[in-house]
Structure 1
Amino acid sequence: LQYSPPPPPPPHQHILFLPILLQHFITPSQPIIFHFLFILSYLPLVLFSSFFLDVMDGGRLHAHRILLAARIPSLRAALSRSLRKGNTVLSLTAENLAPTWAFASSLKIESLMETCIHLMQTQFKSFVCTDLFVNLPADTVLSLLRSDDLTVDSEEEVFAAISNWAGPGTEDVNERLKVHAPMMLREVRWLQTTAEFRNRLMESHPMFQNNFGCSRLMNLVVQWMNCADKDKLSCPFNRNRRPPQTFLIFGADKNQKGWLVLSFDSDLQREERVADMIWHHNATYSVVGGSIFEIGGDYSTTVEEFLTKERRWRQRAPLTVGRSMHAAAVMKVEAEGGEKALIGVFGGRKRTYLSSCEVYDVSQDRWSKLPDLRTKRCGTAAASLPGDSRVFVFGGCNDSGRLASVDVCRLRGDWQEKMTSAGTADFWWPAARMRTARSGHAATPFRGKILIAGGNDGQKDLNTVEMFSPPDVTCPRGQWTKLAPMKETRRDFCLLTSPDAVFALGGNAHSCALL
């Protein structure tokens, strides 16, 4: 169709102009083709916010959608073909986010602005690298940071985004750093960061060297973190966990008729059945991103990955040595382009006690052998602190009885090259022994320490709890502190943590308790 548009009508004729224009293009025998979108680009959208026409097949043509496509070229495909089910909805993507946001914010279209903000939240990791993020107004950035559903792997990414938005400079020349950065830093979930990360920021990051408001906030954060009775102090930051924490429990249903995966909220009050499973006795479960890896059990080499968002299982590369009653821990090492997640598997039993170890590269779905432990051990526990490349393997048992010894190793970015020549003595070294020798116990990181609870000492099940402070300059082998005991004895159970609490679940006690 060829059409030469008339001169633009006066503003009061805009409402009448659109129906007249449409008559040139919509006929009973023609599909609805919108070659006229360029004509509409000068029309003020505000006049059309509730204007629509009934079109073929019972469809309804909204004028604001036409103008949206007219103003934003990357959205035109959704309206440039026949009006069918497949193209009646405009899709917002990373490619058209910038012009859509400019369009929506300039005309204060709140519903469209909310849609844009939702996309910014779900694609936050890639979005913060764009010019659009850096140019967002402070109130919009603050609303993003306040979201509990922000899609990030760690709060370090949130801090990096704030630093990128605030930019370099001193508070005298940078209003963003002086006025807005301290408020934004309150939205970092500091409970989900490590002491090492916080100390590194205070010591060397320009934001805290050049700005009194930012450094004062970090001092308040550290003061609150170190306070024994945190309820007496007002928390200077947002304590909500991001994303909202969910516990997944693997085991038998209450009628013992099958095995399943249950989802609980962080208070263990609301329960939902999310999947069935094949049970492997004495397997381990490790969380990496949105996946949970079930490793070994029943002396098998089986490895299965549970995709939490898709609620389904898939097979992964098998262990090189089948095992049960082993320990597993997730660690992250430096790699090209960022960090790499690894799962270490240590000891266990298969016809005899094992000292063998192996490590799983999650991104490559591949197992590699590690040097053997210093001591054979099964019924052991392992843990690694966030931001710390060391792995600690605690206790267990072998032919000599229950063990109190602790083995330590460190994996660095070049671990694969060094594994070909490293032996046990080069790779493992001892840490301070536990106060109580035990097996069948549980271990978990918590606020920069590692908690050890329960187990069996060879004569009885235990309710004792110990806290391990990892080795540092002042205490090269680490230090143990006795804590209050659990209310029940537990063996072969698990510990789960939230920002403010530790839960002991299952085992021989068949119950849940708050430590």
Structure 2
Amino acid sequence: MSVYNDLRLEQELCDAVIRVDNVEFHVHKIILCNCSPYFKALFTHWSTPDSRVFDIPNVSPDMMKLIIEFAYTDFVPVTQENIQELFIAADQFNVKGIIQPCCNLLEEQLAAQNCIGIWWFTEVYYDPELNHKAFLYMMNHFEEVSSTSEEFLLLSVQELVKIIEKDQLNVRQEKMVFAAILRWIAYATEERSEHISLLLSNVRLALMSPEYITDSVRNNELVRASKECRPILIRTLAAMLDLQTKLVPDSIFYNPLARPRLPPAIMLAVGGWSSGSPTNGIEAYDVRADRWVNIPNNEDKTPRAYHGAVFLDGSVYCVGGFDSVEQFSSVHRFDLVTHTWQEVTQMHSSRCYVSVTVMDGCIYAIGGFDGHNRLRSAERYQSRINQWTLIAPMHEQRSDASCTTLSGKVYICGGFNGNECLSTAECYNPETNQWTLIASMGNRRSGIGVIAYADHVFAVGGFNGTSRLDTAEAYNPKTNTWHAVPSMLSSRSNFGIAVIDGRLFVVGGFNGFSTTFEVECYDVETSEWSDVSGMEISRSALSSCVVYGLPNLAEYSAPHHTLQFYDVEEDEVA
């Protein structure tokens, strides 16, 4: 193409002149035809073969210059300053090679302050994929968008209804939707107050506390002044009563005032030890509905416990483990879209009581027990090449430990070395391939849960050699110190641990007497632990992970949700 561009610059063999506001560009028709269907139609259907000069309206010379240069060089400089005008020009002349880099930059820049504007823009200058991504960004970040975005205040009532009616709207508390409505109305109270009943009917009012309904909703001036709001509040109180009195309120979940929103992520509980033997059962926790859902898993015939489960690129990987006879080196991948299992490359060592985590697109499998020895060795898996690679060994042998990632490092804490439960901890730097001992925990902990949360490494529960623990502590990597945090409601070891919806969850485990199905969560903002719904089966030695970004996430949520995650697409881009 450089030859053609040189000819263009020297105005040699050119057979057309593109004229924009008296600025002339000498070009070769065939090159522009290759770049744009518009120019192909212009040269072959909208003009005679001997036409040479073409006046192009509704575009600036600067933009035409960029389009012509792209046609010859396959490169265009997309900048913050020119992106909107360039996108419009590329859309006008159907230059897909320019539209795509513009879309890529706009997608990278999606933020609470501009996602609505990009949504509007891509409806006018039609790009369904970016339009949908902008809408999903708005849905996933609704609390920030509705409270800080100036564009939010400019939505039409129809657009606001389209947003708040969706099951996919991501809000931790439904009162945030009501607050967003009030902010929108307050921007133009006189003309918008009449819409309060329409908007209120799309809020999941029955999911609010009775106190909030009484103090903030029913006593709101706009609500009190609207006759149409009264029957909505009456239906809300009836739905709240049904929710409180029905043991299994499945039918009430079809009520638009009571149906929980779809969660943006799902927590899985995978495998474990149940009723005296390993299990291959998988349960999914819907944090919005506070319900556990059993996931069909008939294809995987291998029950396992004391394994690790992590989420990577749309799949859950089950690493190592124990089936009551054999310690596994095998690794199985569960495709969450197709619900199918596939065995991938085995690890270098058999590892039960293994610690696993994901960092920078790699799975780390650390320590464990191979049937003979507690292990110091560690390895990492690259899914792109389906290969495990040994990394530097730890300072200590550790089985029954737990690990997590924080700020580009892997942290592993506690465990059992074959002789005693450990209080020591260390971290791994992938840049130097080195492990470094950090400050020891305040307690010995084997069968521990370790997770990154609120910029700290939390070490929770476990077994100290004498009893199961309910205590927890947190490590500050900036000061290399541990400090105590509030204790769990129940003692437990060998449980699942994960962070979802801004809270730390502990799942199942062994309490010193039996396995348990109980689940509780910790909120760092309130410094409190609270019970949530328990699993359907009691189990310990399980592994938990959080999955997100799936096109079929609704399949893993509470069954009352009838919409698939991407069923909204046609609606939103229309």
TM-score computed with the length of structure 1 as normaliser: 0.52
Alignment of 1:260-275 (within 5 A): 260-264=332-336, 270-273=339-342
Counterpart residue type for residue 154 of structure 2: N
Report if the CA contact (8 A) 1:356-1:371 is conserved: yes
Tell me: CA distance 1:262–1:36, structure 2 relative to 1, closer, same or farther (3 Å): farther
**Residues 152-173 of structure 1: CA deviation (Å, up to 9, x unaligned):** 7x75899589839944739955
Tell me: CA distance 1:467–1:113, structure 2 relative to 1, closer, same or farther (3 Å): closer
Tell me: CA distance 1:439–1:114, structure 2 relative to 1, closer, same or farther (3 Å): closer
Which one of 492, 497, 503 corresponds to residue 541 of structure 2?
492
| Alpha-carbon shift at residue 355 of structure 1 (Å) | 0.5
Which whole-Å CA distance do the structure 2 matches of 1:344 and 1:187 have between them?
42
Q: Is 1:453 aligned to residue 489 of structure 2?
A: no
Partner of 1:428: 484
Alignment of 1:445-484 (within 5 A): 453-455=508-510, 462-466=514-518
Tell me: CA distance 1:114–1:480, structure 2 relative to 1, closer, same or farther (3 Å): closer
Q: Is 1:76 aligned to residue 89 of structure 2?
A: yes
Which whole-Å CA distance do the structure 2 matches of 1:38 and 1:273 have between them?
57
Report if the CA contact (8 A) 1:172-1:178 is conserved: no
Q: Is 1:297 aligned to residue 367 of structure 2?
A: yes
Which whole-Å CA distance do the structure 1 matches of 2:500 and 2:441 have between them?
25
Tell me: CA distance 1:4–1:303, structure 2 relative to 1, closer, same or farther (3 Å): closer
Q: Secondary structure at the match of 2:180?
A: helix
Which one of 172, 175, 178 corresponds to residue 196 of structure 2?
178
Report if the CA contact (8 A) 1:471-1:477 is conserved: yes
Q: Is 1:119 aligned to residue 133 of structure 2?
A: yes
Which whole-Å CA distance do the structure 2 matches of 1:131 and 1:408 have between them?
42
Which whole-Å CA distance do the structure 2 matches of 1:466 and 1:225 have between them?
22
**Residues 247-276 of structure 1: CA deviation (Å, up to 9, x unaligned):** 6141479998953322236xxx92254964
Which whole-Å CA distance do the structure 2 matches of 1:39 and 1:93 have between them?
25
Alignment of 1:177-326 (within 5 A): 178-179=196-197, 181-182=199-200, 185-186=203-204, 212=223, 229-231=247-249, 234-235=252-253, 236-242=258-264, 248-251=316-319, 258-264=330-336, 270-273=339-342, 276=345, 278=347, 281=351, 282-286=353-357, 294-298=364-368, 299-300=375-376, 302=378, 304=380, 321=395, 323-326=398-401
Tell me: CA distance 1:184–1:3, structure 2 relative to 1, closer, same or farther (3 Å): same
Which whole-Å CA distance do the structure 1 matches of 2:155 and 2:528 have between them?
49
Counterpart residue type for residue 399 of structure 2: S
| Alpha-carbon shift at residue 231 of structure 1 (Å) | 0.9
TM-score computed with the length of structure 2 as normaliser: 0.48
Which whole-Å CA distance do the structure 2 matches of 1:224 and 1:101 have between them?
39
Report if the CA contact (8 A) 2:521-2:531 is conserved: yes
Alignment of 1:50-69 (within 5 A): none
Tell me: CA distance 1:187–1:146, structure 2 relative to 1, closer, same or farther (3 Å): farther
Counterpart residue type for residue 192 of structure 2: E
In structure 2, stretches of 5+ residues that fail to align are 1-16, 22-39, 61-83, 108-114, 224-228, 268-313, 369-374, 547-555, 560-574
Report if the CA contact (8 A) 1:327-1:381 is conserved: yes
Partner of 1:354: 422
Report if the CA contact (8 A) 1:443-1:451 is conserved: yes
Counterpart residue type for residue 284 of structure 1: S
Partner of 1:405: 469
Which whole-Å CA distance do the structure 2 matches of 1:327 and 1:200 have between them?
41
Which whole-Å CA distance do the structure 1 matches of 2:187 and 2:99 have between them?
50
Which whole-Å CA distance do the structure 2 matches of 1:234 and 1:28 have between them?
72
Counterpart residue type for residue 408 of structure 1: A
Worse-superposed segment, 164-173 or 295-304: 164-173
Tell me: CA distance 1:239–1:361, structure 2 relative to 1, closer, same or farther (3 Å): farther
Q: Secondary structure at the match of 2:445?
A: coil
Which whole-Å CA distance do the structure 2 matches of 1:205 and 1:139 have between them?
24
Which one of 459, 462, 474 corresponds to residue 395 of structure 1?
462
Which whole-Å CA distance do the structure 2 matches of 1:390 and 1:222 have between them?
39
Tell me: CA distance 1:315–1:172, structure 2 relative to 1, closer, same or farther (3 Å): farther
Report if the CA contact (8 A) 1:430-1:477 is conserved: yes
Which whole-Å CA distance do the structure 2 matches of 1:184 and 1:404 have between them?
47
Q: Is 1:169 aligned to residue 183 of structure 2?
A: no
**Residues 21-57 of structure 1: CA deviation (Å, up to 9, x unaligned):** 8778785999xx9x6442699xxxxxxxxxxxxxxxx
Which one of 36, 39, 57 corresponds to residue 38 of structure 1?
57
Report if the CA contact (8 A) 2:517-2:534 is conserved: yes
Number of residue pairs aligned between Structure 1 and Structure 2? 407
Report if the CA contact (8 A) 2:490-2:511 is conserved: no
Tell me: CA distance 1:359–1:144, structure 2 relative to 1, closer, same or farther (3 Å): farther
Which whole-Å CA distance do the structure 1 matches of 2:463 and 2:181 have between them?
47
| Alpha-carbon shift at residue 142 of structure 1 (Å) | 4.5
Q: Secondary structure at the match of 1:349?
A: coil
Which whole-Å CA distance do the structure 2 matches of 1:295 and 1:135 have between them?
50
Which whole-Å CA distance do the structure 1 matches of 2:167 and 2:464 have between them?
43
Q: Secondary structure at the match of 1:175?
A: helix
Which structure has the higher relative contact order (CA within 8 Å, separation 6+)?
2
Report if the CA contact (8 A) 1:443-1:495 is conserved: yes
Q: Secondary structure at the match of 2:131?
A: helix
Report if the CA contact (8 A) 1:451-1:468 is conserved: yes
Tell me: CA distance 1:328–1:87, structure 2 relative to 1, closer, same or farther (3 Å): closer
Alignment of 1:370-385 (within 5 A): 371-382=439-450
| Alpha-carbon shift at residue 482 of structure 1 (Å) | 13
Q: Secondary structure at the match of 2:470?
A: strand
Q: Is 1:135 aligned to residue 144 of structure 2?
A: no
Q: Secondary structure at the match of 1:294?
A: strand
